[in-house]
Amino acid sequence: MLPNPLHPAIVHFPVVLAFLLPISIAAALWAIRRGARRTRAWAVPLATAVALAVSAWAAVETGEAQDERVERVVAEAPLHTHQEMAEAFLAGAAGLAVIAAVGMFGGLIGKGARVATGLGSLALIVAAARVGHSGGELVYRYGAASAYTGDRTTVSALPASRRAGGDDNDDHR
Residue range 137-142: mean pLDDT, rounded: 92
Given a contact cutoff of 8 angstroms between Cβ atoms, the answer to whether 83 and 63 are in contact is yes
> Is the pLDDT confidence value at 104 over 80?
yes
96 found inside a domain: yes
Based on the structure, what is the number of domains in the chain?
1
Domain span including residue 107: 7-172
Higher pLDDT, residue 37 or 170: 37
145 found inside a domain: yes
2 found inside a domain: no
> Is the pLDDT confidence value at 109 over 90?
yes
Residue range 130-146: mean pLDDT, rounded: 92
> Is the pLDDT confidence value at 169 over 50?
no
Question: What is residue 153's predicted lDDT score, i.e. its pLDDT?
Answer: 52
Question: What is residue 168's predicted lDDT score, i.e. its pLDDT?
Answer: 47
Judge if the upstream peptide bond of residue 22 is cis by omega within 30 degrees of 0: no
Above pLDDT 90, what percent of the chain? 71
Mean predicted lDDT score pLDDT of the chain:
88
21 found inside a domain: yes
> Is the pLDDT confidence value at 164 over 60?
no
Question: What is residue 170's predicted lDDT score, i.e. its pLDDT?
Answer: 43
59 found inside a domain: yes
Q: What is the pLDDT of residues 27-41, one digit of tens each?
A: 999 999 999 999 999
72 found inside a domain: yes
1 found inside a domain: no
48 found inside a domain: yes
CA-derived radius of gyration, the chain: 20
